[in-house]
Amino acid sequence: LADRTILHVDMDAFFAAVEQRDNPEYRGKPLIVGGTGRRGVVSTASYEARKFGVGSAMPTFKAKKACPHGIFIAPRMSAYVEASRQIMEVFSEHTPAVEPLSLDEAFLDMTGCERLFGTPPEMAESIRALIFERTALTASVGCAANKFVAKVASDMNKPDGVTVCTPGSERAFLAPLAIRRLWGVGPRAAAALQDFGVQTVGDITALSLPTLERRFGNFGRHVWELAHGRDDRSVQTERRRVSMGAERTLSNNITGVDAVRHRLLPLADEVTTGLRAKNLRAWGIRLKVKYADFTLTTRDMRVSSPICDAGSMLEAIDELLQRIELNVPIRLVGLAAFELSDDSQPQQASLFEAPSAKREGLESALDSLRSKFGSGTVVRGSWLGDEAAEKKHDWGPDD
Ligand SMILES: [Mg+2]
């Protein structure tokens, strides 16, 4: 692969920064934007609030304990969407290859744009200056030869900073970082790596690939590649898949919520396994039922935080099942995930509910188990520990 120039542009404390821009009385103060209800979580904390340990995805009640004098406000999405539109416009004035990740961040493929915008740091400055001119907001930018390293870099000099990793220096650039910074390394995988004597990204490159593969299978290769700063994923300008689904025509007609739910369990597993395999998450879930008379009905819902685990899918299914007629004979059931987003990095937390990160971690761990030992295998006493195996039994009889 020829050298590419990838920028990751990320607004600084975006929701909080918009509020501080629009409300001068919030400036210089610890401001926490997020869910204010009983199960609310912090969406964005201003840098003043971060000094007290308040961060995204923290339950609001905990944030109130950590920062009792903080200003807690509910999000004002329309203002953020408007600022986001202006930011995305700046991106598209620099390159057609823009992959938005959320309202306030995107990957830009700027390969071949040197004649127009100069060196990568000059590209970054051009983008940041135009964003500031139009929105009075600051952005941080990471420049590298691939998405993973650019994403890591944008976080290094926040707020209002530019970080460049020149091609060839990736390994040294990443070496001091904690392994959790590697894409796909959650708490459980980090613990397993730590048990193996790995603390930093540099510790991984000190090991041989066969050593890691023997211990961790495909996942071992994944972290080894990333630790060397290798990532071939391209900047995806549009969502390649519109939806991902699974359905079953039943050998005998069924009726009733329990029977339908039971048949949906393996489909939920199938669809979410597919999502994880493609590093996608779904904002929308669709339930499909075909009755014995061949009439087809669907019910859709949107989730507040995009999902890729069967447990969250099941919660959505339970809600959808209440909204559909199930007491007449049914010949086919189906599920689809739609409004898919790329899952190449941790998502911004839900504004309203605690994230399902832990559950997802378990299920990705189960994916690697399945690829290692075959589908249907539940391995006890593996490096994942027993909790993963038991969790699997919680929700579904099938595999
Ligand atoms: Mg941001």
Active site amino acids: 105
Q: What is the pLDDT of residue 323?
A: 85
Q: What is the pLDDT of residue 283?
A: 84
Among 237, 225, 5, smallest CA distance to 109 is for 5
Contact between residue 209 and residue 224 where contact means Cβ atoms under 8 Å apart: yes
What residue type is assigned to position 182 of the chain? L
CA of 73 to the centre of ligand 1 (A): 18
The model carries a pTM of: 0.63
Contact between residue 327 and residue 345 where contact means Cβ atoms under 8 Å apart: no
Residue 102 DSSP SS3 = strand
Q: What is the pLDDT of residue 101?
A: 84
Q: How far apart are the first and last CA of the chain?
A: 39
Residues 175, 204: Cα–Cα separation, whole Å: 9
Query: 296 forms bridges with which residues in the sheet?
Result: 290
Concatenate the DSSP letters of all residues of 327-372 into one string: SS-EEEEEEEEEEEEE-SSPPPPPSSS---HHHHHHHHHHHHHHHH
CA of 58 to the centre of ligand 1 (A): 16
Structural tokens at position 39: 């199960």
CA of 348 to the centre of ligand 1 (A): 9
Residues 382, 215: Cα–Cα separation, whole Å: 11
Among 396, 392, 376, 374, smallest CA distance to 384 is for 392
Name the packing angle between helices 357-373 and 310-321 (round to 10°): 120
Residues 190, 258: Cα–Cα separation, whole Å: 38
CA of 84 to the centre of ligand 1 (A): 11
Enumerate residues 6+ apart whose C-beta is below 8 A from 346: 357
Task: Tally Cβ neighbours within 10 Å of residue 203.
Answer: 16
CA of 317 to the centre of ligand 1 (A): 31
Cα dihedral 22, 27, 29, 32 in deg (nearest 10): 30
Structural tokens at position 335: 């599920």
Contact between residue 329 and residue 12 where contact means Cβ atoms under 8 Å apart: no
CA of 350 to the centre of ligand 1 (A): 14
CA of 102 to the centre of ligand 1 (A): 9
CA of 17 to the centre of ligand 1 (A): 10
Residues 314, 359: Cα–Cα separation, whole Å: 12
Q: What is the pLDDT of residue 378?
A: 35
β-strands 330-342, 280-291 pairing: antiparallel
Q: What is the mean pLDDT of each run of 10 residues along the chain (399 residues)?
A: 87 97 98 88 95 93 96 92 93 91 92 92 97 98 97 96 96 96 86 94 96 90 94 74 82 93 93 88 90 86 86 92 91 90 52 45 59 41 29 26
> For the chain, give me the number of helices (H) and strands (E)?
16, 12
What secondary structure letter does DSSP report for 379? -
Contact between residue 273 and residue 367 where contact means Cβ atoms under 8 Å apart: yes
